[in-house]
Structure 1
């Protein structure tokens, strides 16, 4: 996502010919869609920026502008889209916790491996294979979390 800069400027002679005295200024820069809610900020004379807030680009009389922002220089950005990342991340974290529990249980010599309440006796020599597979699956889940923007604390 990117901040888009919008500025106001005086109309050119050609624009005055086309629009007459209908407008006092023109917007320069990419504008949001009509009725689109976006994040907005603008610079202060100190060089700092106003805290970001949500505003709506709309038709105002014969022109267009932000509903609650009236400044000569405005920066705006589309609102981030939420695609269920949080639910997916929480699901992955729960699965990783389950794998971590199984890995701890497999450290005990008398722990038996079962699948969906179906017990298959495996010799001790196969225990390391189960550990390796669980660690590989856990690693894939951590990679998926990283792609979602979730990282493990060190």
Structure 2
């Protein structure tokens, strides 16, 4: 192996620093970024299913209508998750850890409800079959890029 442990560590630090440049740092910016990426993925997958014209304009209107609530709920969820990790790192007791995790879980559920409502409204516009096909396409693309 040509790289030493310190060389690998240095490379990892560089990768993390560069990755940090492209991903927003505060919760609101993360929520906006997440919504924009999701918006683009939804629109692309629906276009691939043949959604266009007035129907696509209605989809875009649904996305615009839900943007504020989704971004707001995601902002809270990202913020609460950060608080949960800070509590974990601080060496807090079990009660404090569970309390902050409960708050983070509630915020995450609220954001999932907002996103789910948006998805339901999009499905109403494009129909269940088209929405299911677009979801399957996005799921496959996700699986192709990410492994556990």
**TM-score, L = length of structure 1:** 0.29
**TM-score, L = length of structure 2:** 0.30
Taking CA–CA contacts closer than 8 Å with sequence separation of 6 or more, which of the two structures ends up with the larger relative contact order? 2
Return the structure number with greater strand share: 1
